[in-house]
Every structure is written in structure tokens, then in C-alpha cells.
Amino acid sequence: MTFREDESRTRDRHLWEIFAWLCRFVLGLLKQHPNTRTSLAMKRRQAGWCLSFLSEVLFNSTTW
């Protein structure tokens, strides 16, 4: 339960499948990030706090 799926208010089956796919995709991107000393939970938080880190994770680069 990485993204608090149990608390989601999405009731449509189709939307729930899209949301599950998106969560798996994001976790895959975070796992591929080269900083292995940081936990996945901390990487998620850092991506929410810092735009440069988010772009680093999304585009696999250190420049914006």
C-alpha cells in the first residue's frame, strides 16, 4: 500500500486499473533512480517537494 490505495475514493473499475498501472509505473521509475541509499518512500516525498528531483526521476537526467 505505497500510495494509500485503500483510502482511494475511486469506485469505477476502469479508473482503478489505470491508477494501479500508474502506481506501478512510478514505482518502477523510482527504483531505477541511481540513488540507491534512499528508500522508495523518501524518493516519493522528495519528488513531491523538489521539482529538480522530479525531473531527474522522470527524464533520467540531472539537468532541467
pLDDT at residue 49, rounded to an integer = 92
Local structure of residue 23 (DSSP, 8 states)? H
Predicted model pTM: 0.68
User: What is d(CA 17, CA 14) in angstroms, rounded to the nearest whole number?
Assistant: 5
- What are the residue boundaries of the structural domains of the chain, listed by start? 5-59
pLDDT tens across 8-29, in order?
666 667 787 888 888 889 889 9
Buried b (16+ CB within 10 A) or exposed e, 34-62: eeeeeeeeebbebbeeeeebeebbeeeee
pLDDT tens across 31-55, in order?
888 877 888 889 988 988 999 998 9
pLDDT band at 3, cuts 50/70/90? Answer: low
